């Protein structure tokens, strides 16, 4: 299996934890900064020292084509700190010419000068965690920034791109947000239309639109347990998804994966590493890498991660060299994940080939085709030669229902599930 060409670096620090977030995150308070003496600066410096040690102890073998610094809130790092991380990757692995180097930024956590510093350090793509153009929604999600911060950040990014200093940038939005008060309904379709129009107006060449998921243990998860969280019904969520596809197509964006839209030439190369089933490096707290068919998940607490790095330096872990504590023999993405991810991509998946590689005969292909005959008849599932995919927008809007059926089938015929891989960069927050 070829050596990984993409690397993900996890920066776990945030000012505060958003109400829906269950990522490996360390909240440092609203005043936190990497500046010497500022709240949180010592924690950031100590963590970066560990991260640099982990990179240095890794067996670099091929230059990297994509690097993604996600979190958390990587814009809590100074440009010099980002530069030091990139230099360490360059020293260990090398960076291929034209490598895509993405940094996640949060509005209100950087200014134009800081952005210039990141670009000078080697960043050439930005992912901006905007989430909403409605202050009530931002507040309802537990976000720290305001709409004015987001609009200003978009202007800076657009200007940097126009000047040729930034290759591309992406804006995150959250759809299907819950009701913002006990006596109110969830934001309706017109609200979502306005959000999309404002996102298009920023000129962002890439948009990532994630449906809100309610995870156990989060503020939203606890509210849901108490029956205090009113989410939009499935019809409204599907309508929002369809509207996104329609408006963004009219604005020239290609829908290249269920959550991702890009103007020509601006699809994320790093995300394709995960979706293609290729291996990837990952570094940092809670990050999962895949090399030579082995998954390696790092601990989610700083203390345990420090011990883990020390063990790595002592040769007690491998990075998929065959004698470590990954998952021996597992494909980077097991079939169930390849199907979940691949069917939602415009390219789809070569279904017969995937089943064959999973040790399943042609009769299973026929079985699966019969099982999903109804979805094919409704135009939700398209079978185009050897490739299967969900249609856009109808199939993608109902993707969860179709994929749930497919996974139930896989649970019956396939091997036990393995640990999940990131379907998107762990931060994207």
**Taking CB under 6 A as the criterion, which residues in 278-337 touch ligand SF4?**
none
Phi-psi domain of 284 (left: phi exceeds 0; alpha: psi -120 through 50; beta: other): left
Does position 173 interact with ligand SF4 (CB under 6 A)? The reply is: no
Q: Give me the least distance between CB of 357 and ligand SF4, in Å please.
A: 35
Beta bridge partner(s), residue 52? none
| CB < 8 Å & 24+ apart, contacts of 374-378 | 375/402, 375/405
Tell me phi and psi for residue 290, to 5 degrees: -140, 120
**Using alpha carbons only, what angle is made at residue 70 by residues 199 and 417, rounded to the nearest 5 degrees?**
105
CB of 204 to ligand SF4, least distance (A): 18
Candidates 11-19, 148-156, 176-184, 396-404: pick the segment binding ligand SF4 (CB under 6 A): 11-19
Residue with tokens 């963590």, as numbered in its chain: 47
Candidates 65, 73, 208, 288; binder of ligand SF4 (CB under 6 A) is 73
- The contacts of residue 404 (CB under 8 Å, 6+ apart) are none
Q: Is 14 near ligand SF4 (CB under 6 A)?
A: yes
Select from 71-79, 217-225, 275-283, 354-362 the region that touches ligand SF4 (CB under 6 A).
71-79
List the one residue from 6, 40, 71, 187 that touches ligand SF4 (CB under 6 A).
71
Closest CB to ligand SF4 among residues 105, 296: 105
Residues 22-61 that bind ligand SF4 (CB under 6 A): 23, 25
191-198 contact pairs (CB < 8 A, 24+)? 191/134, 192/240, 192/243, 192/244, 193/243, 193/247, 194/133, 195/132, 195/133, 195/134, 196/243, 196/244, 196/247, 196/248, 197/247, 198/133
Least spacing, CB of residue 283 vs ligand SF4, in Å: 17
| 17 touches ligand SF4 (CB under 6 A) | yes
18 touches ligand SF4 (CB under 6 A): yes
Any contact of residue 261 with ligand SF4 (CB under 6 A)? no
In 121-167, at which residue ranges do the beta strands (DSSP E only) sit?
125-131
Nearer to ligand SF4, 348 or 427 (CB): 427
Q: Which two tokens stand for residue 96?
A: 């291929």
> Residue of minimal CB distance from ligand SF4?
429
Pick the stretch among 16-24, 240-248, 297-305, 413-421 that binds ligand SF4 (CB under 6 A). 16-24
Strand ranges inside 89-142, DSSP E: 95-105, 125-131
CB-facing half-sphere around the CA of 256: CA atoms within 13 A: 19
Instruction: Decide: 298 and 288 in contact? Cβ < 8 Å.
Output: yes
User: Which residue of 21, 186, 380, 402 would you call a contact of ligand SF4, by CB under 6 A?
Assistant: 21
If one asks whether residue 425 binds ligand SF4 (CB under 6 A), the answer comes out as no
- Whichever of 144 and 356 has its CB closer to ligand SF4, that residue is 144
Is residue 74 close enough to count as binding ligand SF4 by CB under 6 A?
Answer: no
**Cβ contacts of residue 164 below 8 Å, gap of 6+?**
none
Binding of residue 427 to ligand SF4 (CB under 6 A): yes
Q: Which of residues 97-156 bind ligand SF4 (CB under 6 A)?
A: 106, 129
What does the binding site for ligand SF4 look like in residue numbers (CB under 6 A)?
14, 17-18, 21, 23, 25, 71-73, 106, 129, 427, 429
């Amino acid at each position: 299996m070829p050596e990984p060409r993409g690397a993900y670096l996890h920066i776990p620090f945030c000012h505060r934890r958003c109400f829906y977030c269950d990522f490996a995150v360390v909240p440092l308070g609203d005043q936190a900064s990497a500046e010497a003496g500022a709240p949180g600066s010592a924690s950031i410096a100590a963590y970066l020292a560990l991260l640099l040690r982990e990179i240095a102890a890794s067996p670099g073998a091929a230059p990297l084509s994509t690097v993604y610094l996600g979190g958390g809130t990587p814009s809590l790092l100074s440009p010099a700190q980002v530069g030091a991380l990139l230099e360490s990757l360059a020293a260990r692995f090398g960076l291929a010419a034209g490598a895509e180097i993405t940094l996640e930024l949060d509005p209100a956590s950087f200014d134009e000068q800081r952005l210039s510093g990141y670009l000078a350090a080697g960043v050439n793509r930005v992912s901006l965690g905007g989430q909403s153009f409605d202050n009530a929604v931002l507040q309802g999600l537990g976000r720290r920034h305001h709409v004015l911060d987001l609009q200003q950040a978009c202007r800076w990014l657009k200007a940097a791109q126009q000047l040729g200093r930034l290759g591309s940038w992406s804006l995150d939005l959250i759809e299907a947000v819950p009701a913002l008060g006990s006596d109110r309904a969830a934001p309706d379709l017109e609200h979502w239309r306005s959000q999309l129009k404002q996102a298009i107006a920023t000129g962002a060449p890439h948009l990532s639109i994630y449906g809100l998921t309610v995870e156990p243990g989060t503020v939203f998860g606890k509210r849901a347990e108490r029956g205090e969280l009113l989410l939009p019904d499935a019809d409204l969520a599907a309508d929002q998804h369809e509207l996104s596809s329609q408006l963004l197509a009219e604005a020239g964006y290609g829908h290249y994966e269920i959550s991702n839209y890009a103007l020509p030439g601006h699809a994320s190369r790093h995300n394709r590493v995960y979706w293609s089933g290729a291996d990837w490096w990952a570094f940092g707290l809670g990050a999962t890498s895949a090399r030579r068919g082995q998954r390696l998940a790092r601990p989610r607490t700083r203390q345990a991660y420090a011990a883990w790095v020390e063990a790595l330096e002592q040769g007690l872990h491998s990075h998929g060299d065959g004698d470590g504590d990954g998952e021996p023999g597992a494909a980077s993405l097991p079939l169930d994940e390849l199907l979940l991810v691949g069917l939602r991509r415009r390219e789809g998946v070569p279904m017969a080939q995937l089943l064959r590689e999973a040790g399943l005969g042609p009769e299973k292909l026929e079985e699966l085709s019969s099982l999903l005959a109804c979805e094919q008849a409704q135009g939700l599932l398209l079978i185009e030669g050897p490739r299967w995919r969900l249609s856009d927008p109808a199939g993608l809007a109902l993707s969860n229902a179709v994929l749930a059926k497919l996974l139930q089938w896989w649970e019956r015929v396939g091997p036990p599930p393995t640990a999940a891989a990131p379907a998107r960069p762990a931060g994207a927050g």
